[in-house]
A = this chain, B = another copy of it.
Amino acid sequence: MSALVDYIEANREQFLAGLVELLTIPSVSADPRHTADVRACAEWLAGQIRALGLDNVQILPTGGHPAVYGEWLEAPGQPTVLVYGHYDVQPPDPLDEWDTPPFQPAIRDGRVFARGAADDKGQVFMHLKAVEAHLRTSGRLPINLKFIFEGEEEIGSVHLDEFMRRYRDLLRADMVVVSDTSWFANDVPSLTYGLRGLAYFQVDLQGPAHDVHSGQYGGAVGNPAWALVQMLASLKDEQDHVTIPGFYDAVRPISPQERNAWQELPFDEPAYRAMLGVPALHGEQGYSVLERLWARPTLEINGIWGGFTGEGSKTIIPARASAKLSCRLVPDQDPEQIADLVEEHLRRICPPWVTMTLTRLSTGKPSVTSLDHPGVQAALRALERSFGKRARFIRGGGSIPIVASFQEVLGLPAVLMGMGNADERAHAPNENFVLDNFFGGIKAAAFLWEELAQPRTE
């Protein structure tokens, strides 16, 4: 046991240098200009996994960005664990709000700052180094392990379901371990047992064929920016309830047990407000903050644009106005069904004097895992051994659509042992990963394989 911990302690600098190298690759899956970078990142990872000594290392094609696979299957009689992570990252904009450039990792205040630091490259690399620690100290792993790292998580894992069906045999396992979630607070190791799903749209409204003078035509021709704000505003009522018919029909009510457990979590609302920099929180009436985040669906405007957005005053009626809209979904909402409801409703309320184009950009299923699963209990012990304190069960507001897919396509239960710090700023400028979580996460992952191993029958 001690050799494992000693190895991890002795190699902190090497681990960090490797992570920094990984974080310099701008593997932005949403941006076609970065396609080659995404590919380069897959190749870098495959090289690392090969160097660890894993077998059958491959870069597997999908309909889009490739996935990286590797395995170590020399523990007969022991469970097989599929470790999932993603090596693609969110776009880094707005660039001018980063203190240091997003793809030039900077170490300060005990954190590494870079796009993908916590989401999810830091957590992927943590698993590589945990495997390295076992193999370099004992020459073996306590269990059988398969790595699968995808390059399309940030664009909705669009090809993963098909990929899972095609590689069903290769991916066969007893459970999937996912490290792509965050702690409840920076000193509260957490296991996530529920995630929200996603349905993401773009709405484009076309008014006049070109921008027109707001004096010469104002009053006579409909303004697509007005149509857009009026359509969008009508999608929520004054209680911040979504008004789309049927939107809440499949929402599973919050159980009294969960409501009580969540009330006991150390949620510090003033600190939360301060971190966000807002004078007041705001959300759906009738629910606590954690209930809104974990068990209630949302409808957000992720982006909106149209007309003149430069300096000064340009007096036009814009030809077009657009918005990116997305719903976070909770069990038992079905993303495709919700996408249908949203589309139908938008088509119903679109005024006749503009032309609408609706594009579905991505969908992902919500999920919940049982707390009694042996993998979940093993992860609980591994976290306590590494961090020296009780881990808590939480849900996540975000989406890891693949968690539901692993369940549905491969029949695998998911253990969500994430190490992201609560203030990691995923998807935002100055994304960061607390180094204590990174190094502690390497230990916890190494311990998890021990905790999952069955006692040998001599």
Contact = CB atoms under 8 A, between A and B. Distances in A.
A197 to B, nearest CB: 10
Interface string A201-226: 01000011111111111111111011
Interface string A275-296: 0111111111000010011001
A212 B429 CA distance: 9
A284 B219 contact: yes
A244 to B, nearest CB: 15
B324 A210 contact: no
A358 interface: no
A215 B281 contact: no
Interface in A380-438: 396-399, 425-430
Given A307-B301, A309-B303, A427-B316, A282 B222 contact: yes
Contacts of A398: 213, 215-216, 315
Contacts of A282: 220-222, 351, 353
Contacts of A219: 283-284, 289, 292-293, 296, 298, 328, 397
Contacts of A427: 211-214, 314-316
Contacts of A32: 311
Contacts of A29: 312
Contacts of A162: none
Contact of A305 (B31, B277, B305, B328): B305
A218 B298 contact: yes
A27 interface: no
A235 B430 CA distance: 37
Contact of A31 (B236, B302, B310): B310
A97 interface: yes
A94 interface: yes
Size class of the A contact interface (CB-based, 8 Å): 35 or more
A223 B30 CA distance: 23
A367 interface: no
Contact of A425 (B210, B352, B353): B210
A209 B324 contact: no
Given A216-B396, A304-B306, A91 B156 contact: no
- A211, A228, A229, A429, most chain B CB atoms within 10 A: A229
B233 A215 contact: no
Question: Which residue among A90, A302, A361 has the maximum number of chain B CB atoms within 10 Å of its CB?
Answer: A302
Interface of A: 29-32, 90-91, 93-94, 97, 155-156, 182, 196, 198, 200, 202, 207-223, 225-226, 228-230, 232-234, 236, 272, 276-284, 289, 292-293, 296, 298, 300-319, 321-324, 326, 328, 351-355, 361-362, 396-399, 425-430
